Amino acid sequence: KPLRFAPVGLGDISDIFMRACAQSNKCKVTALVSGHAKEKAPKYEALYGISPKNVYNYENYDEIAHNPEIDAVYIGLPNSMHAEYTIRAAKAGKHVLCEKPMAISSKECQQMIDACRENNVKLMIAYRVHYDPMWQQIRKLARSGAIGEIQGFQGGFYGIKMHGWRLNRKLAGGGSLLDLGIYPLNAIRWFTGEEPDHFAAQVATKIPGPRFTEVEESIEFNMRFPSGILASSGSSYGENGPAYLSVDGTHGNLWVEPAFYYDGLKYHGTTIHGPVSGISPGKQPYQFVYEADHFADCVRYNRTPATPGEEGLKDMLAMEAIYRAAGAPIA
Ligand code: NAD
């Protein structure tokens, strides 16, 4: 029996997630939650065979508690709404797969973890990179000694995003760091298996005009890990730049670029065994299929997700430390 989802917020990412569920035999979309159900729901009802009686809005959302055709919600809302809709789902007894960033403060992340624990539901943060077999292979290689001891990382995710809720501090909680910089940050933490304990950072907004009055356009940050690993990374909404990660060892290097897109990913490197390279094992939304399947298995077999709420909290704590180091406001 597949895990039955209600996506909450029918924007870009929920659309991709629903396509992933359609490709999975472990997951199924059986309900919808939308503030614009009249306009958005009919298309998805037709595509995925969702009953109109399973369509909710933000006001009657808590009623999902009484719908046995919903096992879990997928939170695809603006960042500042993740906490409220996760906690309400937990109280309704539904499992939660929540998009990144987990929330807009570590305090909210902790409240989400507590609510899910108290209501005995699973909480997983949708870090799709962790579920990509190509990324799993690169991480295994990096940690196997194939490039010697890991000494450092460089990375970044730079793109053009200059509209909508992402530029509104109340909804986004921060700028490009929470949206894009979180990818190299999370990948670096995942690869090291350590938590950074020293930070340095700079934020800047170069583009004139009203677009970046509330959140930062660009950020560069450095982190030091307890083992001595140094990482240098950044993100921007205004630079048409790369999405990459470089893993530097004493005896080799792994270079992933593009690293954080939905597909078309590539890596190459030099190791003590010789050259290595690889590409994405599928087309979008393949990462979301692996991610959704993992979550379904966690619910079915009562396992802890590989990226639980605690993982989202650790990123949030690091991002708060990065903003603090930059002297930038924190949500
Ligand atoms: P989007 O703008 O396309 O969708 C947001 C949805 O929230 C829309 O359906 C919108 O109607 C709804 N919404 C409800 N209240 C709103 C309000 N007050 N203002 C604006 N929208 C409101 O955004 P998206 O790109 O789908 O991002 C949603 C979440 O998914 C974000 O947290 C984002 O960080 C995350 N995301 C993750 C990935 C990934 O690869 N994992 C990619 C993109 C976005």
Domains and CATH numbers, the chain: 3-126 (3.40.50.720), 130-282+315-326 (3.30.360.10)
DSSP letters, 188-249, are HHHHHTS---EEEEEEE--S-SGGGSSS-SEEEEEEE-TTS-EEEEEEESB----EEEEEEE
Between the CA of 81 and the centroid of ligand 1 the distance, in Å, is 10
> What own/partner pairs with CB < 8 Å and gap ≥ 24 does 312-315 have?
312/98, 312/100, 312/101, 312/102, 312/103, 312/109, 312/112, 312/125, 313/102, 313/106, 313/109, 313/110, 313/113, 314/189, 314/195, 315/100, 315/101, 315/102, 315/182, 315/185, 315/186, 315/189
pTM comes to 0.98
Q: Which amino acid is at 253?
A: N
Give, for ligand 1, the residue of 77, 235, 260 to mutate: max count of ligand atoms closer than 8 Å to Cβ. 77
Q: Cβ < 6 Å from ligand 1: which residues?
A: 9-13, 35-36, 76-79, 99-100, 126, 128, 164-165, 171, 179
pLDDT in tens, 57-66: 999 999 999 9
For the chain, the first-to-last Cα distance in angstroms comes to 41
Closest ligand 1 atom, CA of 77? 7
CB 92 within 8 A of CB 65: yes
Q: Which atom of ligand 1 is nearest to the CA of 15?
A: 26
Pocket perturbation via mutation, ligand 1, pick of 13, 79, 171 by most ligand atoms within 8 A of CB: 13
Distance CA 211, CA 310 (A): 33
Q: What is the pLDDT of residue 10?
A: 98
As a whole number of angstroms, the distance between CA 262 and CA 39 comes to: 27
Residue 331: per-residue pLDDT: 66
- Which residue lies with its CA nearest to atom 12 of ligand 1? 9
Residue from 8, 10, 12, 33 whose mutation best tests the ligand 1 pocket (most atoms within 8 A of CB): 12
**ipTM above threshold 0.95:** yes
Q: Residue 56 belongs to what H/E stretch?
A: strand 55-56
Ligand 1 centroid distance, CA of 252 (Å): 39
What residues does 221 pair with on adjacent strands?
A: 201, 233
- The list of the chain residues with pLDDT below 70 reads 331
